[in-house]
Chain A
Amino acid sequence: EDQVTQSPEALRLQEGESSSLNCSYTVSGLRGLFWYRQDPGKGPEFLFTLYSAGEEKEKERLKATLTKKESFLHITAPKPEDSATYLCAVQGNGDYKLSFGAGTTVTVRA
């Protein structure tokens, strides 16, 4: 069974204070690793897909990287509007479903 562990559970940052979120995964054959952002009471919003170790994707202040066992989401110079829960999910070869981690809740103070 696919396993996804995210750390830390919560992260409080000052505006402009860069940091990284971790996603460790176990899957029998990774087809893709996905990052989503979720605001309270809303549906997850797709951010990135990573397919192979060494791959990196960037969008504004967010950068996602992938190794064979984990992925990192780097937040550079965050702003209060980056406050959200960030979810990591994996999709195994032969699967359509996504298996999600519990998420990291990021709070950015002005």
Chain B
Amino acid sequence: DSGVTQTPKHLITATGQRVTLRCSPRSGDLSVYWYQQSLDQGLQFLIQYYNGEERAKGNILERFSAQQFPDLHSELNLSSLELGDSALYFCASSVGRGEQFFGPGTRLTVL
């Protein structure tokens, strides 16, 4: 158990809908990262927050957004969902730079 929690574990929704994925980092970790893992793309970095502020962005679609709250939990919002958004979404956390600890993931299926 990495200490990072994610909810929900599974999410099934329809195209065009909007969903919210939630992540709680390890105690004491200020950085939260979101990654997407699909069969054809592997693990891809989406976005990073540090102590409530956006720190870095990867290839995150404009339909996707995230935020980190004062209690350090983070939410990833995915809107206007398409079939190709079906993937595993992982949250990771770290104290600073260096090793990141991953949560169990949310499996998103868009029908």
A102 on the interface (CB 8 Å rule)?
A: yes
Interface size on A, residues (CB 8 A): 23
Of A13-21, A60-68, A74-82, A90-98, the segment with at least 4 beta carbons within 8 Å of chain B is: A90-98
The residue that A42 contacts in the complex, of B31, B55, B58, B105, with Cβ under 8 A, is: B105
Which residue on B lies nearest to A51, using beta carbons?
Answer: B98
How many whole Å from B23's CB to the nearest CB in chain A? 11
B2 on the interface (CB 8 Å rule)?
A: yes
B33:A101 contact, CB within 8 angstroms: no
Residues on the B chain within 8 Å of A41, using CB? 88, 105, 107
B42:A101 contact, CB within 8 angstroms: yes
How many whole Å from B107's CB to the nearest CB in chain A? 7
A49:B98 contact, CB within 8 angstroms: yes
Which residues of B in the span 23-63 have a Cβ within 8 Å of any Cβ on A?
31, 33, 42-45, 48, 50, 55-56, 58
Residues on the A chain within 8 Å of B44, using CB? 100
**How many Cβ-Cβ contacts under 8 Å join chain A to chain B?**
61
Interface size on B, residues (CB 8 A): 26
Given contacts A96-B55, A97-B58, contact A45 B2 (CB under 8 A): yes
Question: Which 8 A-B residue pairs are closest in the complex by CB-CB distance?
Answer: A43-B102, A100-B43, A97-B45, A44-B102, A102-B42, A43-B104, A43-B105, A49-B99
29 contacts between A and B (CB under 8 A): A32-B98, A32-B99, A34-B99, A41-B88, A42-B104, A42-B105, A43-B2, A43-B105, A44-B43, A44-B102, A45-B2, A46-B2, A46-B100, A46-B101, A87-B43, A89-B43, A91-B97, A95-B97, A96-B48, A96-B50, A97-B33, A97-B45, A97-B58, A98-B33, A98-B43, A99-B45, A100-B44, A102-B42, A103-B42
Contact residues of B with A, CB < 8 Å? Answer: 2, 4, 31, 33, 42-45, 48, 50, 55-56, 58, 88, 90, 94, 97-105, 107
